[in-house]
Each structure stands twice: as C-alpha cells, then as structure tokens.
Structure 1
Amino acid sequence: MSLLTTNYLTPTGREEAWRFTPLKRLVGLHDLTTQVADRISLSGMNSLPTGVTLVTANAVDHPPAYASNDLITNRIREKIEKVLVLSIAKDLELTEPIILNRGCKDSPELSRVVIRAGVNSKSTVIIENVGGGVVGEEIEISLASGASLNFVSLQEWDRTAVHLAQHHAVLGKDAHFTSYVVSVGGSVVRINPTVEFTGAGAFADLYGIYFATDGQHLEHRIHINHGVANAKSRVNYKGALAGDAARTVWIGDVYIHKVAEGTDTYELNRNLLLTDGARADSVPNLEIETGEIVGAGHASTTGRFDDEQLFYLQSRGIPADIARRLVIRGFFAEIISKLKNESLEERLMSRIDDELAKVGQ
C-alpha cells in the first residue's frame, strides 16, 4: 500500500544528510530498488497495567502526526500496512516501566511504532534492541498536555546488526519528555532523535551514550524544533571509541523560530578517543531567528584518554586495566546514573566493559 507519493531518490553519499554514513553497509535499507519486509518485531515483555494498551493496527488508521524529510522514515510510511500503537491513559502514573523487546528475523524489515502519552500521565517506556537484525524504524511519540514520559532506547545489538531509526517526539503544553539513547552494539547504527514543541512550558531532555569498537559506525543526528514560545531543551551525549576504524558521528541541530520567544536551550557532545585509528565527528548547530530568548548555546569536545587520571589510579595500586575501566565508567556515569534503574545501569556498564575487553584494553 502507499501512504504518500515517492519523490525521493536512493542516496549516493554526496547528500549532506548521508555524507557520513557508510551506505554500502546498510544491506539495502536505503536502496529504493531493494525489497524490504513490512514486519512488526517489537513485543511486550511484561504484563501491561490497567490504562495501557498495546495493539497492532492498520497504518491508514494512524497517519503520521508530522512531516519528515528522512528517507528511511518516508520509505517506511510508503511500504508498511501495520503499525504498533502503545497508548497510556490520561492521569495514569506508572511506577514500573513498560518494556518492549525486538525479535528480528534475518531479512531486512521496516517498522513503525506510535507511542501516545495521555494528559498528565507519567510513565517510562524501554525498547530493547538485541541480537541480530536489519531494521528501518520510525517511532512517533506524542505527549499530551502535562504528560511526562521517560523513553529509553537500547541498541545492544550483535556486531552484525544494521539499525536506522527516527525517534520523533511531539510535545504539548507543559509536557516533559526525557530521552535516553544508548548505542553499544551493531555494525551500523544511525538514530535520529527529533523533537517538536507544540505548547508553551514544554521541556525536552535528550541524553545519549555510545561506545564504538573495531569497525563499528554509530551515528546520532539530533534535531530540536523550537516553534513555540517558552519551551526548554537540553541535549547531553557522550561517546567513547576504541579500536581500528571505530567511527562515531554526532550532529546536533537546534532551530529557534521567530515566534519562539523565551526559548532556553543548550546542547553538549563529548567524545573520548581511547586508541589510535578511531574517529569521532561532532557538529553542533544553532539557528536563531529571535533575540528574545532566555539562552541558547552549544559545546563539543573530542579528546584523547587522560593518562594523568590513569597514572593517578595506578599510583594508588590499581592495575592498569582496572584503572582504565574505572575512568571510562566515570566518563559515562553522569548520564547512566540518570536512568535511576540500578539493574539497567549495571547492565549497561557491564556491556561497556565487555566492548572494551574486545579491543584488548
């Protein structure tokens, strides 16, 4: 079936949106001549509380709430017939997270997920991507007035996986959206977290961590669209790289419209290079059309491992491999600790330790 008319071409790598991405490794997800299955591979991992529903529905009954210029997203919208819809009732306050787990097949697939948080609801949704797979995905997240949603996306793939996704959040008045994107697996992972404000008083916190080792390509492209007055956003992404041809890309775009007076925004990206042969590209951008704002800024740093920290710990009798692991844990701890989930925090730290061990550090 077709939800729109195709007016885009297979990228060549010369396009700005694709110039960093290794197209030859995408297993045809970007190639409009390649057949890709329409499949929903996410499923609930725990029982759903009263007031929460998870259903598979016809795509035509759940049209997109926003326009996208992302090629993968538009390909998904054109091809898919079914969509997974997670709805959280108004005024519902959940103490336990809703967990969705992906079980992929060997063939490439396209998938669309819609998450709707009702008025004044409070909830946490965790999506676990594990194992192998080739996935093109759109996740549309809608927060009604006063809703609060913690959204956690875990890319803990095997080393063969390819994952291209857009996470788009639409925030109503006084809504609070907190996103955690964690990428520590896969061959190629490209995630586009985007935010659109539709009501004053809304607040978006976007956190991310990524760890790339030998040959991995991990790419995160953030875009925040401040189109209303008196909204606030914060972005904080941290990445580490170790091993030959480890590659990360971080693009941060914030657009403040002329009508968006009272905007308060800041974006930060920090990268830690642990070995020679690793490369991190970091490009923060701000476009501001009004001077009547609270604040707007960005910062980006990329640097080598701090040998002084390592020397300090070793001088206290800590072996070099343990000292290195402690420094890296400390680098990521600022963001991982915000999850406020002890088992999940330790699980991610253990995965980072495992990735570090693979490059012989």
Structure 2
Amino acid sequence: MLFSFFLVSIPIVLAQQHNAEPTVDGSCDDGWQSFPNVTDATAYPNWIIDEELGAYMPVYQTTGLNASEVTRAVIILHGKERTCWTDWNAANNALYNATYDDSTIERDEISILSPCFFDEDDLEAGAAQDGQLLWGKRTWMSGHRNVAPDSISDFSSFDVLDALVDYYMNTTLYPNLKVVVVAGHSAGGQMSQRYAALRISTENDDQLHFWIANPASLLWLTSDRPVPNDDCKGFDRYKYGLASKYPAYATANARVLGREGIIERYNGRTLNYAWGLKDNGDGDTRCQAMTQGSTHLKRGKNFVSMLEDMGGIPNLTTIDWVPKVRHDTEKMMASDAGVDKLFRYMGNSTDA
C-alpha cells in the first residue's frame, strides 16, 4: 500500500505587540495615587537630575538595553494630566509599530525615557515622594521653577531637560548615540517647543531634535497675531510670545540675544512639527491663545503661515499634517509621520 504524505506549509503570522495602558487611581486635579510599573520600562522613583544639589525625580526608561548599542534616545514629555506612564507606554507601542513595519528600526538601539513632573497634589495622593522635585500644576511645561522640596530652589523644568539630554549625550555612557529627540504631544508639545526656543546652545545641538505635536498654544515668533485682540493683555509675553516675562532659566540669555537672536537660534534647530488634521479642539481658551487661532489645528496652520511669511520654512524644519487623527497622543505617535520623526529621521545629525 502506497502512502502519500503532503507537507503543508502553514505561514506563521506574528502578532504586533501592543501593551495596555496602566490603570492608576486618582486624577490630574486631585493627584495621582501611585507611580505604577509599566511593561518594558524600569520605573525609577529617584532618578538623579543634579547630584551636587541632590535633585531627583521619577522617570520611566526602557529596560534591558545595552547602552553601548543605543543609537537613539527619545525623551517623552507627558501632557497636562501628568500621566507619564501613559505617554511612555504610547511611545513604546509606537516603537512596536515601527519595528513591525520597518526592519531597519531596531528596538535594542532605541531608549525611551519619560520624566514625571509631579505636583504637590501627587505628593499628598501618593504618586510622588518627599524629596522629589515638584512643580506647579501647569508651570513645568513653560520652564518655570520647582515648588519643592524646600532644600532646592530655582530649579527649572528646563534644567531637568538639560540634564536628561546631557545624560544621553555622554559618550562614555552612550558611545554610539547619534540622535536625541525631545518629544511631546499636547502640553508636552508646548514644553518641547518652548524648550527648543530657550535652550542655550551646546556643541551637540546638531544631534538634538524636537518633536512638537498638537500643542494647545505656541511660543509665537512675531509680535503680530493672526486673530488680533486689542483687549487681550500679554498676548506677546512669554509663554505666548517673545516680548518679556521669560522664566529665570532664560532671562539673562534672552536679554543678550533679543527676539531676533532667539528666533535665529530656534529656527536653526531640527524642529519637527505635527498636527492631526481632525484636531479641532480649542484646548487653551485664554485670549492669548485665541489670538493664534481658535483650535489646535488652526493655530498650527497659522504658525506655519507665519514661518512662510518670515522668509520660508527653515531648512531644518519639517511639517507633518497627520490625516484622520484628532487630539490623540498614541495615534499621533503611531502615525507614519510620528514613527518617522521619533524613531527614524536623522535630520541634521552628524551622521545623517
């Protein structure tokens, strides 16, 4: 009797990984009650920001990487809700998207870090701890000073970003690092943009990128506005403009450079803007923001028009209009444009 055997090849389809968002009790208004563990991340409650001052704060960082193999670092800035665990997880899921679709992007070469700018409500509720750097409920996004602990004063949230950038730029720790991306959506996008404008130049700036996604308002470069309002006082003061009222972090440097010097430095950086084409929420309803436009998207379009009127889109600037996306952190990060700018784009780096 003759038996015939047919070897059937069954294709194996690998599922794309997507980690669930951690659940945390509490709220933005009343304070978060815990600093949760996040899949694929190490939660550091006391990450050293300034060893001499004894300044530390909580951060999440990708776990299990060999620092000598890391070529790219992405510093994720959370939104106004201060849910740093959510934004870190969104970026990590976007990286899963990236590696699933593009074999040239290697997870083992990308470190994601998200600092947590907690406030005193978070301390009382349980997410923050005594001794950690704390900020006002919204002041962290503009580079203003910490409010606690009492032993440390006049420490800007932009000082924190300087320290995190310097950490990754340390060639002893990360000898093969090529790019650091300071990235944020919504309030995180506001922070990224204003930090890009006020950060003092260093020799490594050609390796530094800024991803600015769906900010509720922008640091406007010119003194005029697309929607003028004569009754709106302070529309050109920081954080909405460049006329005055800078945080202490930038006061001396801004006095030396002036508006034109700040603009020249800012537009000389690698700036990657992104707006969702369905982001029609108003976000910031203060009159200073409304002079920029009535919605996130309109403010973005008006800002781009301003850049064009100033002489054209700067050479190192990119503009991404993301279709079918509203005010959604994870969808913006996981979009083709988000994946490209966060995990692939080399821009003006030295090895581009």
Q: Which has the higher contact order (CA 8 A, sep 6+)?
A: 2
Determine which structure has more spread, i.e. the larger CA radius of gyration: 2
* Larger helix fraction of residues: 2
Return the TM-score normalized by structure 2: 0.31
* Larger strand fraction of residues: 1
Return the TM-score normalized by structure 1: 0.31
